[in-house]
Structure 1
């Protein structure tokens, strides 16, 4: 399974949920007619998204299996995934790009060899993508632009991104 989002809670009274997508585009999850939900990435529950809308950079979704706020409240915090086999194939060397989900949790090191932290997430600004890096020392987040001038290497095999970046830029 490839985790593509997280349910952050109910929306309204008719059983809709708010989902933070981990996809490049906010509507990326709308392409899948079946989602797998899990708290621990071991036990999966299949659901069927019925309707989608976008509100404040969140995906608002109605699931066919749920019809009221009380029942969807139990879904808060669950991960949303699809089987990797449903995603288009990318080359292993990253020349075709990367799935954001593959970057989350990998180490970020600068060109001086200092470990900055790990990728907590990514988001799109319109001009470029941005890495959210959870700093090893403080636990705070640093935002690093995902642009060629800054990102020197993405090595998915060793789970490391090398950046031309110093803390506090």
Structure 2
């Protein structure tokens, strides 16, 4: 899938805020309010229905963001959107700085050990708070801390390959 077609999950609608159609959003961008920089949003509900929205605006409010959509002014409409995922096209994100990358750009990369043992492919990454972790699917699922250079020895974007120093039996 090309960058123009690939979608990146940036957040989720978690409920209504107030009575005028304001929307509580959980954002996974860093900083959290950066989600508003990347639009249009492609909203995907639990049934797989999609809608595209532009012009979302908002601000931080406690552990969530509070947003407004131009066409949404009713609390009941917002409550019906609860659980809707917020995606943007990969092409909406700025290019990463030199030496940096987006986690999503590593999905699908093959992972091999320094000794040539094939672990499979990266399904996703997640953060534990202390470090990020590669989730790798192959003959079984493996979790490898994304700690350079201790465990992750190299990332080759041209080859789509990550080399790790990790015990295959662990």
Alignment pair present for 1:145 and 2:150: no
- Aligned match of 2:47: none
- Aligned match of 2:100: 97
Aligned pair in 2 of structure 1 residues 147, 45: CA closer, same or farther (>3 Å)?
A: same
Segments of 5+ residues of structure 2 without an aligned counterpart are: 45-49
- Over the aligned positions, Cα root-mean-square deviation in angstroms equals 3.5
- Take 1:96 and 1:26, find their aligned partners in 2: how far apart are those partners? 20
- Aligned match of 2:34: 29
Secondary structure class of the residue paired with 1:102: helix
Aligned pair in 2 of structure 1 residues 158, 61: CA closer, same or farther (>3 Å)?
A: farther
Alignment pair present for 1:60 and 2:29: no
- Aligned match of 1:84: 91
- Take 1:101 and 1:164, find their aligned partners in 2: how far apart are those partners? 22
Output aligned runs, 1:44-55, within 5 Å: 45-53=52-60
Secondary structure class of the residue paired with 1:146: coil
How far 1:164 sits from its partner (Å)? 0.8
Secondary structure class of the residue paired with 2:100: coil
Pair member with larger Rg: 2
CA contact 1:16–1:72 (8 Å) conserved in 2? no
Segments of 5+ residues of structure 1 without an aligned counterpart are: none
- Aligned match of 1:109: 112
- Take 1:148 and 1:31, find their aligned partners in 2: how far apart are those partners? 34
- Aligned match of 1:5: 9
Aligned pair in 2 of structure 1 residues 85, 53: CA closer, same or farther (>3 Å)?
A: closer
**TM-score normalized by structure 2?**
0.64
How many residues are paired up?
A: 153
- Take 1:54 and 1:136, find their aligned partners in 2: how far apart are those partners? 41
